[in-house]
Structure formats: C-alpha cells, structure tokens
Amino acid sequence: MIALDREDIWRRLAASTFRSSFHLKRKDKVYVREKGLEVIQNHAYDFIRKRLAPKEICNDGKQTPMKGHPVFIAQHATATCCRECLYKWHKISKNKELSEIEIDYIVQVIMTWIKRESNEYL
C-alpha cells in the first residue's frame, strides 16, 4: 500500500532543479485540451502498464522519452519515468511487477501535474 505524504512529494519535486525544469509547452497544452483529460489519463495508464509495470524492464532508465507526449514530460517532472526514480522518490520497489494500486497512484500523480500545468483544474 502507498502511504506517502503527497504534499511532501510535491514540495520535494518543486525543490529539485531538474524535476521543476519540466513544463508543458503550448502545443502540449493544446493537445491536452483537444484530447481531453480522460483520453490523456487513458494514455498514462497505457504507458505505465507497458513501460513501468513489468517486473523486469530491459531498458530501465531510458524507456521514457523526454518529449513527444504530455505524459512523458509529466513522468520526468514527477519522477515516475523509471523504476529507479519510482523507488527513490515514491518508495515503490523496483524488483516486482507494479500492483494496480501502484499504477493508479502513479497515474494520479501524473494527471495532477498535467492538470496543474495545463490549467485544467476540475
């Protein structure tokens, strides 16, 4: 079960020069607006299940592009881009398949960041 203080995570991410350097560009915000948050969230679930959820990832640390989709940018901004970062920042173990609870948590973190960045507060 994930019992991390989310406000603490947001504070730590904001204090990181690297993590806080990521922002959605105008085209990314337009993409989010055009597709809608539900579609973006579905993309996030798909990316996480395929790229982070397996127990073993052959290219861990390199599986998340730095651009090309708002979810990828959000993953770097929120330290949900690879299993090493998931462990370091969110205390999610590396050497096991992610549970649905962990996947839901990761997607919630990503979507919160995207909403904040795209000014799409609901």
**Contacts of residue 75, Cβ cutoff 8 Å, sequence gap at least 6:** 47, 64, 81, 110
Domain contains 20: yes
Domain contains 122: no
Does residue 26 carry a pLDDT above 60?
yes
Taking residues 105-110, what's their average pLDDT? 96
Domain contains 110: yes
Owning domain of residue 24? 6-117
**Contacts of residue 108, Cβ cutoff 8 Å, sequence gap at least 6:** none
Domain contains 52: yes
Taking residues 35-40, what's their average pLDDT? 96
Does residue 56 carry a pLDDT above 50?
yes
Percent of the chain with pLDDT over 70: 93
Q: How confident is the model at residue 109 (pLDDT cuts 50, 70, 90)?
A: very high
Instruction: From 24, 64, 46, 49, select the one nearest 100 (Cα to Cα).
Output: 49
Does residue 66 carry a pLDDT above 50?
yes
Taking residues 111-117, what's their average pLDDT? 94
| Burial bucket for residue 121 (CB in 10 Å: 0-12, 13-18, 19+) | exposed
For the whole model, what pTM was predicted? 0.90
**Contacts of residue 14, Cβ cutoff 8 Å, sequence gap at least 6:** 20
Domain count for the chain: 1
Token pair 């350097």 in the structure block, residue = 21
